[in-house]
Amino acid sequence: MTDIGKIMNEVDSRQDELVSLLMKLIRYETPAPPARNTCEAQRFVADFLQQRGFSIDMWDVYPNDPNVVGVLKGTDSEHYQSLIINGHIDVAEVGADECWETDPFKPIVKDKSVIGRGAADMKGGLAGAMFAIQLLHEAKIALPGDLIFQSVIGEEVGEAGTLECCNRGYKADFAIVVDTSDLHIQGQGGVITGWITVKSPETYHDATRRNMIHAGGKMYAASAIEKMTKIIHGLQELENHWAIMKSYPGMEPGSNTINPAVIEGGRHAAFIADECKLWITVHYYPNETYEQVIKEIEDHILQVAKADPWLKKYPPHFKWGGKSMIIDRGEIFPSLEVNPDYPGVKQLKKSHQFVISEAPIVDVSPTVTDGGWLGNAGIPTVIYGPGKLQHAHAVNEQISIEQLVNYTKVLMTFIYEWCHTETN
């Protein structure tokens, strides 16, 4: 690491430039929701990369929400390892009643931290990666392997800009998602949302309820809301079973949960509820797939339905996932397992140790990122970024400047070493 060591000191001496870059990114107001607001920020990223030798692919995923992919072709791509650096440009929404010290999109420096929406999640990671690229470019370091930079949209609302990159054919030997991880090297569990619907084929006046529930009423009918309570109890039973029977190293027991998040049902007070919908959020372990989890839930709930005379005849219907929490009220985040023996992971650990003089923590994120889509596409991937999760989405969101500087050094070192590593 002798060559890269000569320019590492640049990060320290020019940390004001790094902070300025982060603050510029924060000033672009890209909250999602409402989304459809990233074009100006993405043009800045595209111009930044293009000025440093990258070819640019920029396309609209949604109107005014484009993805940007920059490709820096290596001098000997066929024989050296390639790398994807991935991050999302959208940030969490800001509530009208949130009490910030400053305008969330007018960042400030206070107590050796940058405060502003997206500082931790995850414009800090983007800024560190971009500044590392800048310093490598200024040092005229030619990388033998390809370097691909992805600035994507929609992560905060399940609009998988990263999936669009995968579908467009972008691949590499290794990928780093520069999302909030407090400099831990992480995998993740997965998340999928779903709708469970109980629906009656008939509609009844509320005055018929006596006939529906009392002996001799002779009406074969039911309230969809009341029947949904059986479904909810069934989900709780399955969740308890998972907590007992399933586990994953590095994750708290019972992290695989089924959250009944939203319930919608009934017409108004003069009707027996003929339809009820339950929106659930399911967290599952890194070694599971959403297809597997969907099957387990459906199989169990349909067995619950068979034990009820009315639900047996009118079983619940399921709808899973979605492309957007804004458009179709659904999302998928595939899980991601980290192989500690993969050469890219080993090299990232070495780079971290070299810069910070302590071994990195390799664990599992308690939240989800776009990393699962890259892993799902067959690309060995890790989450590795600056910022603490408790600051993400929070009022006065912030990131430590010291950690941002260290992160930039690690990533610059890793880019250099990995893209100088011969393929087997």
pLDDT at 6 over 90: no
In a domain, 325, yes or no: no
Q: Please check whether residues 277 and 167 belong to one and the same domain.
A: no
In a domain, 356, yes or no: yes
Q: Please check whether residues 13 and 101 belong to one and the same domain.
A: yes
Tens-place pLDDT, residues 174-191? 999 999 999 999 999 999
Q: Please check whether residues 173 and 250 belong to one and the same domain.
A: no
In a domain, 331, yes or no: no
Q: Which of 291, 320, 349 is the last residue of a domain?
A: 320
Tens-place pLDDT, residues 116-170? 999 999 999 999 999 999 999 999 999 999 999 999 999 999 999 999 999 999 9
In a domain, 412, yes or no: yes
Q: Please check whether residues 133 and 72 belong to one and the same domain.
A: yes
Give the pLDDT score at 16.
Answer: 98
- As a whole number, mean pLDDT of residues 99-110 equals 96
- As a whole number, mean pLDDT of residues 305-309 equals 97
- For the question of residue 275 being annotated catalytic, the response is no
What domain range is 180 assigned to? Answer: 2-188+336-419
For residue 155, what is the DSSP state?
A: G
Query: Around 53, how many Cα atoms within 13 Å sit in the side-chain half-sphere?
Result: 17
Catalytic residue among 10, 121, 146, 155: 155
What's this model's pTM, rounded to 2 decimal places?
0.94
In a domain, 327, yes or no: no
Q: Which of 285, 320, 355 is the last residue of a domain?
A: 320
Q: Please check whether residues 227 and 375 belong to one and the same domain.
A: no
Q: Please check whether residues 300 and 238 belong to one and the same domain.
A: yes
Q: Which of 320, 353, 382 is the last residue of a domain?
A: 320
Q: Please check whether residues 303 and 347 belong to one and the same domain.
A: no
pLDDT at 5 over 90: no
Q: Please check whether residues 17 and 140 belong to one and the same domain.
A: yes
Q: Please check whether residues 194 and 148 belong to one and the same domain.
A: no
Tens-place pLDDT, residues 233-255? 999 999 999 999 999 999 999 99
Give the pLDDT score at 196.
Answer: 98
In a domain, 212, yes or no: yes
Q: Please check whether residues 313 and 347 belong to one and the same domain.
A: no
In a domain, 23, yes or no: yes
* Alpha-carbon separation of residue 274 from 45, 197, 221, 241, 420 (angstroms): 51, 11, 9, 31, 64
Nearest-CA neighbor of 371 among 191, 208, 207? 191
In a domain, 424, yes or no: no
Catalytic residue among 10, 65, 90, 239: 90
Q: How much is the mean pLDDT over the chain? A: 96
> Looking at 321-414, which runs of residues are DSSP E strands?
332-333, 362-365, 381-383, 398-400
pLDDT at 263 over 70: yes
Give the pLDDT score at 379.
Answer: 98
Q: Please check whether residues 152 and 19 belong to one and the same domain.
A: yes
Give the pLDDT score at 7.
Answer: 87
Q: Please check whether residues 60 and 85 belong to one and the same domain.
A: yes
pLDDT at 1 over 60: no
Query: Around 57, how many Cα atoms within 13 Å sit in the side-chain half-sphere?
Result: 14
- For the question of residue 47 being annotated catalytic, the response is no
Domain count, the chain: 2
CATH, residue 232: 3.30.70.360
Give the pLDDT score at 217.
Answer: 65
CATH, residue 129: 3.40.630.10
Q: What percent of the chain has pLDDT over 70?
A: 99
